[in-house]
């Protein structure tokens, strides 16, 4: 686990090309005592092997595996480029994070960084940051970047036919998760909810919100309130900008007339659609039991670091099927296999088992290709 401080951040940097940006970043790492000149040279060599662009306007320049011996101590240094730097392939970088790490320490660093930096909207925050502390707080995980919402915050078969009671139940779930203060639960009884359509209602609670979160409650039997049907109530604690993108995903469901899914879809699907939108179709556990799942072991000695990770993602992108991947030797949480940022959050080490699930007309071809790519070392011998 790394802990970034303000001394390791340089704001308002400029670079004409990415080679210059990497050179300046390497110089900062060297001046701070993290690396030698040999590792600095290896950072550009690594970039020439494959791009270190992660997504969301972020790149992670680092050395090759051959130059790890020239790391004097593990650490990172951050350069912000408000105007951006062309990183190739149409990508523009606003934050470059230089990584110096020995052995497999880089995997934990990547896991920590990408879990924080993969959130929607983070690119704008990093690009417009006016103080080093803003970036420190974000990278150290002190700022909420992802809304609190999982399957445990979906409650089915609530045996009530009273809207106020249903509201109290929804608010109580968020209080128990730490998103709301006690007072907010009482306020939920008086707050005005909005009817979205197709039996779905939205209750927004800002006062007393400690962190942003969703809870979804569904009554056993649909009933009427204010002349409208009630089959699902979504309660949102609004504490910061972490709720903006999920609310936009909710608006998209309303526009597509798919709000009925809040009432009938399983909890896993609802959580995925509200948190990830239409980025990729959710794949349920039942589908995984069919012939569209494959478990493959990573044999790369240094695990799934940025270069083999990028090759894995590139292979997945060749297929139209929705593909998720989970690290069975990690937290087993499935992520989009076509997003390098998401794949890096898995923290895959050598011998870890990955489970791929594909859904689409070319699902079997995708699984076979991914297994073959991994067996062939993902570009490493």
**Active-site residue, from 62, 79, 249, 352:** 62
Domain boundary residue, one of 276, 302, 331: 276
Q: Are residues 295 and 265 in the same domain?
A: no
pLDDT of amino acid 23: 96
247 and 198 in a common domain: yes
Beta-strand pair 9-10/58-59: unpaired
Q: What's the confidence (pLDDT) of residue 121?
A: 66
Q: What is the CATH number of the domain that holds 16?
A: 3.40.930.10
Of the candidates 224, 253, 276, which is a domain's last residue?
276
Q: Do 15 and 134 fall within a single domain?
A: yes
What is the number of residues in the chain?
A: 381
305 as an active site residue: the answer is yes
pLDDT value, residue 278: 45
In the residue annotation, 62 being an active-site residue is answered as yes
Residues 293 and 259 in one domain: no
Indicate the residue among 255, 276, 297 that finishes a domain. 276
Number of separate domains in the chain: 3
DSSP secondary structure code for residue 80 in this structure: E
Q: Where are the beta strands (DSSP E) in 185-276?
A: 194-197, 200-205, 213-219, 223-225, 228-230, 232-237
Same domain, 344 and 320: yes
Q: Which one from 79, 106, 305, 352 is the annotated catalytic residue?
A: 305
Q: pLDDT at position 3, please?
A: 67
* Averaged pLDDT, groups of 10, the chain, 381 residues long: 82 95 96 94 91 89 90 92 93 93 74 73 78 86 83 96 96 97 91 95 95 97 96 95 87 92 92 71 46 90 86 94 91 86 88 93 94 91 66
Residue that has been written with the tokens 């609004």 in this structure: 238
77 plus 184 within the same structural domain:
no
> What are 88's strand-pairing partners?
91
pLDDT of residue 217: 98
What residues make up the domain containing 207?
151-276
Note the pLDDT of residue 290.
52
Name, in order, each residue with C-beta under 8 angstroms of 48's C-beta and a sequence gap of 6 or more.
none
What pLDDT, on the 0 to 100 scale, is given for residue 2? 65
pLDDT given for residue 381 in this prediction: 66
pLDDT at 1: 57
């Amino acid at each position: 686990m790394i802990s970034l401080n303000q001394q390791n951040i340089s704001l308002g940097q400029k670079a004409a090309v990415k080679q210059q940006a990497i050179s300046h970043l390497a110089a900062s790492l060297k001046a701070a005592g993290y690396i030698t000149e040999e590792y600095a040279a290896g950072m550009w060599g690594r970039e020439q092997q494959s791009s270190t662009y992660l997504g969301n306007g972020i790149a992670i320049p680092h050395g090759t595996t051959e130059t790890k011996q020239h790391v004097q101590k593990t650490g990172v240094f951050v350069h912000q480029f408000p105007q951006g730097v062309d990183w190739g392939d149409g990508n523009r970088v606003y934050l470059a994070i230089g990584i110096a790490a020995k052995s497999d320490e880089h995997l934990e660093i990547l896991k920590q960084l990408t879990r924080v930096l993969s959130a929607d909207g983070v690119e704008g925050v990093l690009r417009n940051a006016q103080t080093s502390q803003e970036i420190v707080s974000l990278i150290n995980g002190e700022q909420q970047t992802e809304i609190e919402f999982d399957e445990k915050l979906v409650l089915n078969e609530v045996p009530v036919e009273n809207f106020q009671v249903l509201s109290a139940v929804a608010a109580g779930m968020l209080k128990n998760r730490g998103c709301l203060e006690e007072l907010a639960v009482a306020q939920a009884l008086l707050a005005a909810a909005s009817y979205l359509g197709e039996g779905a209602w939205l209750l927004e609670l800002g006062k007393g919100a400690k962190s942003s979160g969703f809870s979804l409650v569904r009554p056993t039997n649909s009933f009427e309130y204010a002349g409208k049907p009630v089959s699902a109530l979504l309660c949102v604690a609004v504490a910061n900008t972490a709720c903006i993108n999920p609310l936009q995903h909710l608006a998209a469901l309303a526009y597509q007339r798919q709000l009925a899914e809040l009432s009938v879809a399983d909890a896993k699907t609802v959580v995925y659609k509200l948190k990830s939108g239409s980025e990729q179709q959710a794949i349920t556990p039942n589908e995984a039991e069919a012939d569209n799942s494959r478990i493959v072991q990573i044999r790369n000695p240094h695990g799934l670091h940025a270069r083999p990770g990028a090759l894995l993602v590139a292979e997945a992108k060749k297929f139209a099927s929705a593909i998720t991947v989970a690290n069975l030797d990690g937290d087993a949480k499935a992520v989009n296999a076509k997003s390098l940022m998401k794949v890096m959050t898995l923290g895959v080490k050598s011998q870890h088992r990955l489970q791929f699930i594909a859904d689409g007309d070319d699902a079997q071809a995708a699984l076979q290709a991914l297994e073959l790519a991994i067996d062939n070392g993902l570009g490493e011998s």
